[in-house]
């Protein structure tokens, strides 16, 4: 049975390394209540936790129950870590306005259809000076120009394999619309229009144009991400959002597309990429709620 969750890919940590440790090296994490929305199986929380003070609450939440169970087990000995089974907006609704010190939403904002509400609600829940930290490697600019040929060859080869294996599914995939991506500028506006100030990451070589912010994707990482439902919907979609589909048929379609993508990858990657890794552009946002004059200022970055 193929696992179509984000879990198999997340275990590679290619969605976090090296940019997240680099960001944590320059970012101040204040005491108080720290939220991580869409925590998955806890790989990012493991990286963040050493920077969270023992007097702080670190609350992890995810809409996937199995991920929450994994996190509960992983952090069972951490007295200041709590796990909630909730989507991003539902978790934020549990907290009073101006009560949260920091919010993290990593590798998930592009999948959240309520992203504008999540950003707006995060602003309300954060204390003045608090930060919302998010990232996405699924914007319209995510594939560097040097890698576009590889991605086109990979998916094109997978489509040919699918046509030979299951003509009906091939035709359905061609009819469906791929998951729509926003540009980094579109996301910037979502943060700015609710009042956030976007902090400049260029001095830390973490802006989208910097190599330090990129994901370094190996053939192993791509092999695993080919299993992930959201990746499949963004590259070779097997269903429309409005189309009711029995679970057993959906799983069968996902399994088939996973297999043809993995087969195609094993043929195309060595030819076009070889021994090197393929970079992927990763947009990072550190959005700060403005400070009122009477509130003691906490600098977002270390000096």
What's the pLDDT at 297? 59
pLDDT in tens, 144-189: 999 999 999 999 999 999 999 999 999 999 998 888 899 999 999 9
CA 207 to chain centre: 17
288 contacts 196 by C-beta, under 8 angstroms: yes
Confidence (pLDDT) at 248: 94
Return the percentage of the chain with pLDDT > 90, whole number. Answer: 91
pLDDT band at 84; cut points 50, 70, 90: very high
Q: Hey, what domains does the chain have and what are their CATH numbers?
A: 7-288 (3.40.50.150)
pLDDT score for 179: 80
Q: What average pLDDT does this structure show over 228-249?
A: 89
Using pLDDT thresholds of 50, 70 and 90, give the confidence band for residue 298.
Answer: low
pLDDT of residue 301: 84
Residue 295 confidence (pLDDT): 52
Q: Provide the mean pLDDT of the chain.
A: 94
Question: Tens of pLDDT along 205-224?
Answer: 999 989 999 999 999 999 99
Q: pLDDT value at position 240?
A: 81
What is the tens place of the pLDDT at every residue in 255-295? 999 999 999 999 999 999 998 999 999 999 999 999 876 45
pTM for the whole thing? 0.93
């Amino acid at each position: 049975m193929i696992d179509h969750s984000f879990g198999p890919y997340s275990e590679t940590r290619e969605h976090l390394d090296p940019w997240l440790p680099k960001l944590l090296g320059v970012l101040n994490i204040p005491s108080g209540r720290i939220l991580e929305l869409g925590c998955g199986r806890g790989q990012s929380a493991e990286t963040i936790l050493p920077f969270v003070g023992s007097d702080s609450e670190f609350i992890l939440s995810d809409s996937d129950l199995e991920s929450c169970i994994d996190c509960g087990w992983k952090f069972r000995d951490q007295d200041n870590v709590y796990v909630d089974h909730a989507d991003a907006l539902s978790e934020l609704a549990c907290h009073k306005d101006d009560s949260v010190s920091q919010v993290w939403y990593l590798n998930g904002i592009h999948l959240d259809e309520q992203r504008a509400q999540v950003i707006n609600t995060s602003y309300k829940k954060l204390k003045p000076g608090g930060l919302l930290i998010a990232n996405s490697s699924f914007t319209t600019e995510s594939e560097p120009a040097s890698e576009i040929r590889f991605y086109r060859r990979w998916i094109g080869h997978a489509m040919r394999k699918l046509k030979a294996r299951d003509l009906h599914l091939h035709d359905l995939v061609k009819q469906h619309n791929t998951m729509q991506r926003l540009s980094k500028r579109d996301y910037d506006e979502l943060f700015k229009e609710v009042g956030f100030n976007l902090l400049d990451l260029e001095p830390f070589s973490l802006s989208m144009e910097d190599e330090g912010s990129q994901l370094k994707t190996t053939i192993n990482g791509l092999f695993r991400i080919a299993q992930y439902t959201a990746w499949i919907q963004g590259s070779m979609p097997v269903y429309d959002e409005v189309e009711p589909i029995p679970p057993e048929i959906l799983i069968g379609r996902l399994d088939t597309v996973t297999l043809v993508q993995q087969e195609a990858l094993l043929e195309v990657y060595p030819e076009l990429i070889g021994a090197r890794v393929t970079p992927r552009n990763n947009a990072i946002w550190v959005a700060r709620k403005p400070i009122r004059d009477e509130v003691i200022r906490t600098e977002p970055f270390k000096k």
